[in-house]
Amino acid sequence: MSPFAEMHARVIASLAEMQAEGALPQGLSFDAVVVEPPRDPAHGDMATNAAMVLAKPSGLNPRDIAQTLAGRLEALALVASAAVARPGFLNLRLADGVWADLVAAVRNAPDYGRSALGHGSKVNVEYVSANPTGPLHVGHTRGAVFGDALASLLEFAGYDVTREYYINDGGTQVDMLARSVYLRYLEAHGRQVEFTDDTYPGDYLVKVGQDLKDRVGDAYLDKGEQVWLADLRVFATDAMMVLIRADLAALNVEMDRFFSEKSLYGTGRIEDALAVLDARGLIYQGTLEPPKGKLPEDWEPREQTLFRSTDHGDDVDRPVKKSDGAWTYFAPDIAYHWDKVERGYDQLIDVFGADHGGYVKRMKAAVSALSDGRVPLDVKLCQLVKLTKDGEPFKMSKRAGTFVTLRDVVDEVGPDVTRFTMLTRKNDAPLEFDFARAVEQSKDNPVFYVQYAHARCRSVLRKAEGIVPRDPALDDTAEFAVARKLAEWPRVVEVAARAHEPHRIAFYLYDLAQVFHALWNRGNDRPGLRFYQESDPQATAAKISLPMAVSVVISAGLGILGVTPAEEMR
């Protein structure tokens, strides 16, 4: 248990005692009471807002509440002092032994920070979900890294997580892909071909065309679409999914499930999902108002089958069937989310590119309607990635020609650097990814800085191999600073998991690395602070708990981000 969680429990217990003794009125909610690290370390180790949040509902002066609470907490062995500060904060300073105990407890506890927050509830995280029409590009890379790290984070926080990829293999873009492969097939037979606007010109289809030739020989030559289209749709998407899976593997992303859009057609799944909405009176025939502002040239009123998404927070109702009776792209998406709801998830998360922002409300409306509001859907939008090299824009791909692929990035800097760097920004902030800076070995490269801290820990521990750690005796402020930072880890995990924001883990690791490096640097001036004491195994035994604990937390944190901790910097 982290010191913060323990102190929180103590504070709540003390408040309950005060209630029992009549110092506080009955019927108060303690939900808003928090124990957190103060911004300014001079205020102490922890602070609680209990007195301030209880002042109003209890009708008491916050100072009086704080004073009474202070007296109770000071009686605890782990509290060195409790001081009431101006607005009504209660600042706590903990006994030195608390921090030493924490370090001793963490040094062999790889599960430190793991949380029961999720209570094993089922979460489905859908990410990447790129059209199977080509290799993954940088935008997908960010989504892949973000989604994967979020999934790991939720696992670490006690959720039962499924990582899922929705294959958009049902729409017209698959016809385009199939025709493109056909062109490459003709090419493989030595024919001259021309790629039009509605085909994919990328080199990655050359091999697919050749593979097709190897498989069917000249059977499809000079034949119409009706002969080969259906076969090529399958053949081409299968080939693309092989490509995409390999791309994901290069990034160390492993999905639990690939869900095919195509599998929804002709099976009644879409009809079933819409029947659920219909049963709730949310499906009707109607004509939409033309959009305000600029009117599309070819706009004309058409009667369509509509989903009354406005009943669930959307701005306008959305068509599920086109005027010709075919499904819109929204219909299978509804069915897919209905499938997820039926599979019993307590919570759904979709990771989209920012260009799909306009899609969020209708998707939330659909899930809300399908689950009667029981299953929350959180949609995380990932902003664009701007690629640069030494500050200069970096655009062309070696492979795809028109766009930079995931492979281009991973080949250049490796999966670890790719992943960490992608998480050094909040998901909804644009990300500048500089190839040169990403591999630079300096303090302003967070990847290196965190890896370096871990490598230093491991280096010390290799030197001290065979020495059994003793309980640490902390006495320097830099040592306490590291211990305090370690104490924050479980809180960071929970806060990040609750907010669905894995970047918080990356920033925390940077902070931890920073206080650790600071302590290391102090060892320059004060040899007594060094972890490895050449001629004094006893002293070393007392010192190495700290680097052990730090490496435990950095490993765990990097593990969440999907980054391999470095044993040494080479």
Partner RNA sequence: GCACCCGUAGCUCAGCUGGAUAGAGUGCUCGCCUCCGAAGCGAGAGGUCGCAGGUUCAAGUCCUGCCGGGUGCACCA
Q: Which of 312, 425, 315, 451 is nearest to 373 (CA)?
A: 312
Question: What are the angstrom distances between the C-alpha of 399 and each of 164, 251, 395?
Answer: 27, 17, 12
Residues 497 and 349: their CA atoms lie apart, in Å, by: 12
Amino acid at 200: Y
Tell me whether residue 40 or residue 197 sits nearer to RNA (CB atom): 40
> In the Cβ-directed half-sphere of 105, how many Cα atoms lie within 13 Å?
15
In whole angstroms, how close is the CB of 295 to RNA at the nearest point? Answer: 8
State the burial class of residue 87 (Cβ atoms within 10 Å of its Cβ: 0-12, 13-18, 19+).
exposed
Q: If binding is defined by CB under 7 A, does position 36 make contact with RNA?
A: yes
Answer yes or no: are the C-beta atoms of 202 and 401 closer than 8 Å. yes
In whole angstroms, how close is the CB of 325 to RNA at the nearest point? Answer: 9
Residues 149 and 143: their CA atoms lie apart, in Å, by: 10
Stretch that binds RNA, among 14-22, 113-121, 186-194, 440-448 (CB under 7 A): 440-448
Tell me how many helices (H) and strands (E) the chain has.
18, 15
For 432, the enclosing helix (H) or strand (E) is strand 431-434
Tell me whether residue 39 or residue 222 sits nearer to RNA (CB atom): 39
Residues 155 and 118: their CA atoms lie apart, in Å, by: 8
Per CB under 7 A, which of residues 169..198 are in contact with RNA?
A: 170-173
Q: If binding is defined by CB under 7 A, does position 389 make contact with RNA?
A: no
Residues 426 and 421: their CA atoms lie apart, in Å, by: 11
Per CB under 7 A, which of residues 410..439 are in contact with RNA?
A: 425-426, 428-432
When binding is defined by CB under 7 A, the residue of 179, 184, 380, 491 that contacts RNA is: 491
Q: If binding is defined by CB under 7 A, does position 498 make contact with RNA?
A: yes
When binding is defined by CB under 7 A, the residue of 204, 235, 452, 489 that contacts RNA is: 452
Per CB under 7 A, which of residues 144..163 are in contact with RNA?
A: none
Per CB under 7 A, which of residues 294..323 are in contact with RNA?
A: 294, 296, 298-302, 304, 315, 319, 322-323
Tell me whether residue 77 or residue 326 sits nearer to RNA (CB atom): 326
Q: Which of 569, 464, 570, 443 is nearest to 513 (CA)?
A: 443
Scanning the structure block, which residue is given the tokens 């650097």? 417
Answer yes or no: are the C-beta atoms of 487 and 3 closer than 8 Å. yes
Structure tokens at 149: 């790290």
Q: If binding is defined by CB under 7 A, does position 281 make contact with RNA?
A: no
In whole angstroms, how close is the CB of 500 to RNA at the nearest point? Answer: 9
Tell me whether residue 247 or residue 488 sits nearer to RNA (CB atom): 488
In whole angstroms, how close is the CB of 511 to RNA at the nearest point? Answer: 8
When binding is defined by CB under 7 A, the residue of 61, 108, 196, 441 that contacts RNA is: 441
**β-bridge partners, 392:** 389
Stretch that binds RNA, among 15-23, 82-90, 98-106, 206-214 (CB under 7 A): 82-90
Per CB under 7 A, which of residues 348..367 are in contact with RNA?
A: 354-361
Tell me whether residue 261 or residue 412 sits nearer to RNA (CB atom): 261
Q: If binding is defined by CB under 7 A, does position 324 make contact with RNA?
A: yes
